[in-house]
Amino acid sequence: MVQGTPFLLLLCLALVASGFPFPKCVLTGTWINDLHSTMVIGAVDNGGNFNGVYHTAVTATSNKILKSPLKGSQHSANTKSQPTFGFTVNWNFSDSVTVFTGQCFVDKNGKEVLKTMWLLRSHADTIGDDWKATLVGTNVFRRTQHEKE
């Protein structure tokens, strides 16, 4: 019993260090949202920065949709189990930019989910058109089926 105590202590320390009992939500990977848009997020570096590629399923324009780069930042990299984050998509088939902000949660079934809000800024030809140049909305992202397997 006494001999087992250091082992149990080490086990407890290892569990706490791993974030137990809070499962971690990780941004890196492939995600799909409620509009069927997909995105791939690369590794989050020590400063919380990440890059990725966004493939929107819809557009406010009549242009042909192309995959577009995203750049983001996760708050408190690697310390929170359900981190907040933001990213910008610089659309390469329109004059617009979208900023997303949200939080990476683990739901009651243990599945990761990204709850986001976004602002889509379109190009206004005149300052008088500024009032109608920004759309706002929400998107919910889950890991793609492929990645869950």
If one asks whether residue 120 binds ligand BTN (CB under 6 A), the answer comes out as yes
Least Å distance between CB 111 and ligand BTN?
20
Residue list 56-75, contact with ligand BTN (CB under 6 A): 56, 58-61
What's the one-letter identity of residue 3? Q
Number of residues located near ligand BTN, criterion CB under 6 A? 16
Which of these segments, 21-29, 31-39, 40-48, 73-81, binds ligand BTN (CB under 6 A)?
Answer: 31-39
Nearest-approach distance from CB 76 to ligand BTN, in angstroms: 25
DSSP3 helix / strand / coil % (the chain, rounded to 5): 15, 40, 45
User: Long-range contacts of range 3-8, CB-CB < 8 Å, 24 or more positions apart?
Assistant: none
- CA 138 to CA 119: how far, in whole Å? 9
